[in-house]
Structure 1
């Protein structure tokens, strides 16, 4: 399996914060300076179109990292919606991930990307690529449990559907970590019982691990998959507690 590639952009201008506030699922104004969070831009159906790592340097300057195979569509999307905003998106370079203190950071020198993929999957930190865009709602991915979604931030793309799922309903299926001694299909594919693969990789022990979206009862009935408990708080109920 080829390791993932990541592309970094800068988004700079006096409208940068305001524009992103109307695009991504997290509350941009509350993001701490030099803090990196994984968040999403959704489509009008409330499903994740782009997954991105967002770093705020100040209200006028952000770094954005996306998986390489989404870069062209992502760049086109931002330039289309920001056509009249006082902010400019510029591609910087390929960057490389590391997993430190249970968070992903990026650097300009090469790292062991496969090791990052394994650590991210083991911690339930799903990411979106071209194979999985438009498939999942943020809550199904437990993105709110990673502080990548805020429900009190006002309007953004897909916000009405996402808010309705949170305040008036609950997802029927959601993210789980599984392992298997049998091969697991690639991201975006389904296996029996309507289990959909988000991310997967083969480990050094010739074991397959994956993040999947499924109903818990379906996983219990799938003998070749073993469910592994996710680290807190990603092992908590995804639904809103009243």
Structure 2
């Protein structure tokens, strides 16, 4: 399976919000779960945009093209409503938000296609041609990166990787992207965001910050993200059931994709207490789920 994840893949399920202006970084710092005020040109940020109740309305991979120019990569099916909600908070800030999806190309790089100069997840490299390469969390022990460049920029050359293989790699990495079917269902820790660099607990306030902090510091978190395998199709938004309770769902499928070796893989967010039980998707008699090991360690509760 590791040999499958090599090459350059097209990406069509993600779009780009562009934030320009001298207050761009501070504006995003005040709205998202991560620190954008101190963001440099060598790193990207994983971040969430939350409701006042701390529920994720969108997730982003964000980075600076310049001090006053920031790109946010997010699920395309949430881009328009997210752009509208974020714009409501601009007020007097010197920041302009726009849908820049048509102005940039997005590609997924895997295995040998990832530049060796990238050091760790969320590190950023800008090429002489103006392309930006963000290292992502690996999948199946293979390096992965996001390539973002203006539309006129020549694409990198290399072996072709299918869009389906890339979607599977997103699931296998264990780092979920929020999409429309799971809008406002999770606080960031329910997707392990604090363990993969998506939450900064030392920064100032943002929408939902009190709820997110309470989940972390008071030990109230009862759900986590897990990776599962199944023989048949899985889809985002489907409920997950544990054998001990056929009526009440214990979790939700967050993101799913076919596996290269057959069957399906998914990220599910579910009750931690159900991790040792038999699990099914859709109903108590639905598709059987097999729990897999996460490819990263969870941070200890604070």
- TM-score where L is the length of structure 1: 0.88
Does residue 98 of the first structure (1) align with residue 108 of the second (2)? yes
Among 78, 84, 87, the residue aligned to 2:92: 84
Among 79, 82, 85, the residue aligned to 1:74: 82
**CA offsets 1:18-62 (integer angstroms, 9 cap, x no match):** 111110100112323142222110001101011111012343221
Whole-angstrom distance in 2 between the partners of 1:170 and 1:30: 30
Return the index of the structure with the highest Cα Rg: 2
Runs of 4 or more off by more than 4 Å in structure 1? 108-111
**CA offsets 1:147-204 (integer angstroms, 9 cap, x no match):** 11000101001001111111112311100011121332x1112032322100011123
Question: Residue 40 of structure 2 aligns to a residue in which SS?
Answer: coil
Point out where structure 1 has 5 or more consecutive residues left out of the alignment. Answer: none
Does residue 140 of the first structure (1) align with residue 162 of the second (2)? no
Whole-angstrom distance in 1 between the partners of 2:190 and 2:13: 25
Say whether the 8 Å CA contact 1:13–1:88 is kept in structure 2.
yes
Give 1:98 shift: 1.3
Whole-angstrom distance in 1 between the partners of 2:44 and 2:146: 7
RMSD: 2.1
The size of the alignment, in residue pairs, is: 235
Whole-angstrom distance in 2 between the partners of 1:135 and 1:28: 24
2:261 corresponds to = 205
Point out where structure 2 has 5 or more consecutive residues left out of the alignment. Answer: 1-10, 115-134, 138-144, 243-249, 280-287
- TM-score where L is the length of structure 2: 0.72
2:203 corresponds to = 153
Does residue 189 of the first structure (1) align with residue 238 of the second (2)? yes
Whole-angstrom distance in 1 between the partners of 2:136 and 2:100: 25
